Amino acid sequence: MSEQIEIFTDGACKGNPGPGGWGALLVFKGVEKELWGGEADTTNNRMELTAAIRALAELKRPCDVRLVTDSEYVMKGMQEWLPNWKKRGWKTAAKQPVKNADLWQQLDEQVNRHQVTWQWVRGHTGHPGNERADQLANRGVEEARSLKHA
């Protein structure tokens, strides 16, 4: 039986594109770990993906993960779109290159290391884990903004 861990992720962007941040809260046996970061010029979707990638990459061994996100983009990508993108060589049904393919490939790699169950929650409705991830993502935005103006 692998270790069970809960992960809450979120991405934020001020302007799309603009300064962005990502945040993740990992909860394991009641112990919490906060992760966050930011980029000076990015999009909301890239930050949502980065949060999930960085959180899963933090796990040193295969785990049983419940990953909670408020991003329908990440959920649909992982549960519906990804298998077809891979079959088509990272092209959409319209034969266009998949947006953010670099991050989707990294997320796919991380997910394959673990047993991941995805759960979607509506953002900004007071869900404690999601609110914490949102705060961390906004901390990442602030850091990205300060880098931009440094």
Kindly list the catalytic residues.
Answer: 10-11, 48, 70, 124, 134
CB contact at 8 A, 70 and 120: yes
Would you state the structure tokens that stand for residue 94, as one six-digit string? 């319209």
CB contact at 8 A, 115 and 4: no
Is 41 annotated as contributing to ligand binding?
no
Would you state the structure tokens that stand for residue 150, as one six-digit string? 């440094």
Would you state the structure tokens that stand for residue 142, as one six-digit string? 């602030």
Is 64 annotated as contributing to ligand binding?
no
Q: Distance (Å, rounded) from C-alpha 107 to C-alpha 76?
A: 13
- Beta strands at 63-69 and 115-120: parallel, antiparallel or unpaired: parallel
Q: Which of 36, 28, 23, 38 lies closest to 3, judged by CA?
A: 28
Give the residue ranges of the annotated binding site.
10, 48, 70, 134
Question: Binding site for Mg(2+), residues?
Answer: 10, 48, 70, 134
